[in-house]
Structure 1
Amino acid sequence: MVEIYGIKNCNTVKKALDWLVEHKIAYTFHDFKKEPAQEKKLREWAEKVSWEQLVNKKGTTWRKLTKEEQDDVKDISSAIQVLLANNSMIKRPVIECNDLVLLGFDDNVYLSTLKAPK
């Protein structure tokens, strides 16, 4: 089973959800607006993809931080604290499947890692 985390109205999350439906892959969706990410989950993800990849530095939430706040994000602990306070800053979607963690949407990566049942 695929677990997908994100924000329902995020265009990248929509692409991922549409892709899963198109490829008939069952999933459970966790909306950060209804179920905020927890520290334990963020640490699990950071062990698999690195905290640097989890922090979406291209989004508006990151850009709204002051330069000092951005500069303070320098390790896993500081990244997790800012992500807990700003779930919308987590790179989306986060997909968990078979002990893998995938970030964002990439058709080729999905095709090679998320196998549809035959």
Structure 2
Amino acid sequence: MTTIYGLKNCDTCKKATKWLDRFNVAYTFVDYRDNKPSPETLLEWAGKAGGFAAMINKSSTTWRQLPDSRKSPESDAEWKLLLREYPQLIKRPLVITDDGTLSQGFSDNGFKARFNIA
């Protein structure tokens, strides 16, 4: 089963779940504001995403409002602390399929390729 991590009020997450519904792809949705990912999960995601910095939505209001001192974590521990405090900084949706593959974001063509739909 595919797991979609995001925010229930995020327009991009809504588009992604509507797409999955339309193509009958089974999924579970997890709002990571209500169910904050564990530090171990964040570390695993960062490994699959290409690092913590690659997971960050730098165009978000939350990111822009952070003090500059918080925008340059120098260790995994600082990244994990930042993302536990502000899970909305994670690019969304974050999609994990049964085989453990992780992707972020939504596009029609991207999801068609990801879920092998012609």
Give the TM-score of the pair, scaled to structure 2. Answer: 0.89
Letter in 2 for 1:10: C
Deviation at 1:73, TM superposition (A): 2.3
Letter in 2 for 1:57: K
Matched residue, 2:88: 88
Does residue 106 of structure 2 align to residue 105 of structure 1?
A: yes
Residues 13 and 93, structure 1, Cα contact 8 Å, conserved in 2: yes
Q: Distance in 2 between matches of 1:108 and 1:99?
A: 20
Q: Distance in 2 between matches of 1:106 and 1:75?
A: 32
Give the TM-score of the pair, scaled to structure 1. Answer: 0.89
Q: Distance in 2 between matches of 1:46 and 1:77?
A: 12
Deviation at 1:43, TM superposition (A): 1.0
Q: Distance in 1 between matches of 2:41 and 2:116?
A: 24
Deviations for 1:56-77, whole angstroms, at most 9, x for unmatched residues? 111011111111221x324543
Q: Distance in 2 between matches of 1:57 and 1:76?
A: 18
5+ residue gaps, structure 2: none
Matched residue, 1:73: 73
Percent identity of equivalent pairs: 34
Mark the CA change 1:65 to 1:108 in structure 2 (over 3 Å): closer, same or farther.
same
- SS of corresponding position for 1:12: helix
Report how many residues are paired.
Answer: 115
Deviations for 1:25-64, whole angstroms, at most 9, x for unmatched residues? 0001111132112111111111111212211111011111
Output the aligned Cα RMSD: 1.4
Pick which of 40-49 and 75-84 moved more: 75-84
Deviations for 1:75-105, whole angstroms, at most 9, x for unmatched residues? 5433222111101111111100122101011
Matched residue, 2:29: 29
